[in-house]
Copies of this chain bind each other. A is one copy, B any other.
Amino acid sequence: MSYGATFPAWRAAAGPAWDAYTRHAFVAGLGRGDLPRVAYLHYLRQDYVFLVHFSRAWALAATKCDNIEDMRLCAATLHALIDDEMRLHVATCAAEGLDEATLFATQEAPATLAYTRYVLDAGHAGDLLDLLAALAPCVLGYGEIGARLLAEAGETPYRDWIETYGGPGYQDLCTRVGGLIDGAVARRLGPGMQDSPRWASLCDRFATATRLEVGFWDMGLRP
């Protein structure tokens, strides 16, 4: 999955951390189906709270756009997160007897706090592009994982997770977010993006968020 021109360059610059994230033992367990249910539910509760703050970050992005198309895409992504993607979490947890208010009140693990607040701060410290570099590993990495597992995975109780991220709705969102990033790069760095004095710090944002994804999966495996 390339999702545009910038994402593959950031992914390459992240080095082995990218595979540590997208081929993590937690991901393998989702695909093979042998991830313990208790780990999955622990992850899902933290991921719900993660998505609350990730939605806040997309809302923040909508405040930092310089054209109406980008604003509409950020607003649509916010909508997709809090009205669609979270449905998976709410429905699965409801089947376990947890209602949404309880989910919302979940005490955040340090890994959840570190990742979500780092992304929000990237937006407050910098411009739209700094924020997008911190948002990209989660949005597009889940797209990459979902597409791969959809193609490869056999029987698994986690098929609804795989279809949420591997399915056409989420894949289309990834393509549009990739285009948003490419446009933000073009309007700020120009054609030779890798020669920009900002390139290293953007790669660093992306790599830090990628490491925080690894920490999030690690946390998921320790219910």
Interface residues of A (CB under 8 A from B): 52, 55-57, 59-60, 62-64, 66-68, 71-72, 74-75, 78-79, 82-83, 100, 104, 108, 110-111, 113-114, 117-118, 120-121, 124-128, 130, 186-190, 195-198, 201, 208, 212, 215
Contact = CB atoms under 8 A, between A and B. Distances in A.
Nearest to A198: B188
Contact of A62 (B56, B68, B130, B198): B56
Nearest to A112: B114
Given A113-B114, A127-B127, 4 more contacts: A59-B63, A62-B78, A64-B126, A110-B110
A163 B198 CA distance: 40
A197 B187 contact: yes
Contacts of A57: 63
Contacts of A64: 124-126
In the complex this chain forms, how many copies of it are found? 4
Contact of A124 (B104, B120, B130, B198): B120
A124 B124 contact: yes
Contacts of A78: 59, 62, 75, 78
Q: Is the interface of A mostly helix, strand, loop or mixed?
A: helix
B127 A118 contact: no
B56 A68 contact: no
A177 to B, nearest CB: 17
Nearest to A197: B190
Contacts of A83: 72, 75
Nearest to A90: B68
A63 B56 contact: yes
Contacts of A104: 67-68
